[in-house]
Homo-oligomer: A and B are copies of this chain.
Amino acid sequence: MSDDPAITARAVRLAQRRLGSAGGEVRGRVLSRLAALLRDESDGLLAANRRDLQEARESRLAPPLLGRLELSRAKLEILVEGVETLAAATDPVGRVLRRTELDEGLELRQVTSPIGVLLIIFESRPDAAIQIGSLAIRSGNGVLLKGGSEARHSNRALVDCMRRAVAGEGLPPAVISGVDGRQAAQALLEHDELIDLVIPRGSGELVRAIQSATRIPVLGHAEGICHLYLDAAADPDMATRLAVDGKCDYPAACNAVETLLVHRDFLPLLPRVAAALREAGVELRADARARESCPGAVAAGERDGATEYGDLILAVRTVDSLDEAVDHIHRFGSAHTDAIVSADAEARRRFLDEVDSASVFANASPRFADGFRYGLGAEVGISTSRIHARGPVGVEGLLTTRWLLEGSGQSAGDYGPGKRAFIHRPLSL
């Protein structure tokens, strides 16, 4: 890329217009080329990744980060299969969402379109470069990719493959451009005239820091303080299963349960749930009423019930009613994913209606909140923002719409009181 990141961004913008209007078949062929290239170049890609790993070990990167940084042959094969699936997928661009006959010979269509230029900021995992890059190509967007410095050899090699795949179809490779260094990324955040959306994939702090630093819209997630509410009418087996799955399946995930809300009428059955959780190694931090039913639980402190532990720790709170459970979720939750366990259909209906979170579940583990599990295909991320895209976001999150109007010479001044009237007839898609 150029020394001036704004010059790079401008080149991405110009290149994106070519990719965006190239047609879905061409974008599909770019992705097929990319899959083939990733296979052909796998030795070189893995070598680049080993350089990163070597340097990371020398600079004593923490073991979990080393794990994320590593690109094995198996991981690469999964990535390639993902790219192939996207290559074969229906073109998401130009889909007609609405058609209206405004008047005879005057037809309006609302169609899906690429957003434009995306700035993707991600940490450690080099697979993210391919996942997001291929989603961007599929949806006709241009991308500025800023990866972690610890993955720079891997990212450079992967971006190079993507650019060659784009160029192979006669399109400008600038549509996918790497951004080197934090300073360059900071400078780009100033350019809301060149960049349409920032997608940070990383910690909640990273997301908040970026939101504060830019006028560009940000699609990111804050934290996940998810609740499992055991209703008065909860089946104790199901309650136990979902509490253990929700907390222990992957405690570091944003959709893991952090607080167990327990209806007071369920307290007599709580010891079973608590025993299973303790057996799975979970530390319980319970309020006074719940502690009587949770032998071995420690007393909850001030921050328990409002904390994303990301670990085998679970707050347990007693509530007197479903209303109190819903209020607690609204007050202390992060509107990410919340679930009720209940055999009472009316309680489930109220919970699903009233809880204002991105994902609201009844009798299912909060851990299902995930783009792959929802069947969205490749996942852009999980959004805790409320506008544009909310919850697990698939390729639709990288699309906007345009309104296309085809007429036969109509003037707007010909319509109005005492003049022509609009028909506004909805047409089938």
In the complex, are the beta carbons of B403 and A374 less than 8 A apart?
yes
Is the C-beta of A392 less than 8 angstroms from some C-beta in chain B? yes
In the complex, are the beta carbons of A407 and B212 less than 8 A apart?
no
Contact with B along A198-227 (1 / 0, CB 8 A): 000000000000011001010100000000
Main secondary structure of the interface of A (DSSP, over half): mixed
Interface segment out of the listed A36-44, A63-71, A381-389: A381-389
Is the C-beta of A128 less than 8 angstroms from some C-beta in chain B? no
Is the C-beta of A242 less than 8 angstroms from some C-beta in chain B? yes
Is the C-beta of A100 less than 8 angstroms from some C-beta in chain B? yes
Contact with B along A171-215 (1 / 0, CB 8 A): 000000000000000000000100011000000000000011001
Is the C-beta of A238 less than 8 angstroms from some C-beta in chain B? yes
In the complex, are the beta carbons of B373 and A400 less than 8 A apart?
no
With A116-B356, A354-B21, A415-B373 already in contact, the answer to whether A406 and B361 are too (CB < 8 A) is yes
With A249-B412, A387-B387, A410-B368 already in contact, the answer to whether A361 and B404 are too (CB < 8 A) is yes
Is the C-beta of A375 less than 8 angstroms from some C-beta in chain B? yes
Is the C-beta of A353 less than 8 angstroms from some C-beta in chain B? yes
CA distance A20 to B217 in the complex (A): 26
CA distance A107 to B21 in the complex (A): 37
Contact with B along A340-373 (1 / 0, CB 8 A): 0100000010001110111111111101111001
Is the C-beta of A73 less than 8 angstroms from some C-beta in chain B? no
Which of B197, B244, B249, B406 is close to A363, meaning CB atoms less than 8 Å apart?
B406
> Closest residue to A413 on the B side, CB-wise?
B249
> Closest residue to A375 on the B side, CB-wise?
B424
With A197-B386, A215-B212, A422-B375 already in contact, the answer to whether A413 and B356 are too (CB < 8 A) is no
Is the C-beta of A139 less than 8 angstroms from some C-beta in chain B? no
In the complex, are the beta carbons of B407 and A361 less than 8 A apart?
yes
Which of B374, B385, B408 is close to A102, meaning CB atoms less than 8 Å apart?
B374
> In whole Å, how far is A231's beta carbon from the nearest beta carbon of chain B?
13
Is the C-beta of A311 less than 8 angstroms from some C-beta in chain B? no
A residues with CB within 8 A of B: 17, 20-21, 100, 102, 106, 108, 113, 115-116, 192, 196-197, 211-212, 215, 217, 219, 235, 237-238, 241-242, 244-245, 249, 330, 341, 348, 352-354, 356-365, 367-370, 373-375, 385-388, 390-392, 400-415, 422, 424
A102-B375, A235-B409, A361-B405 are known contacts; what are 15 more A-B pairs with Cβ within 8 Å? A21-B353, A217-B385, A217-B387, A357-B402, A358-B403, A362-B406, A363-B406, A363-B408, A364-B405, A364-B408, A365-B413, A368-B412, A369-B405, A373-B412, A375-B424
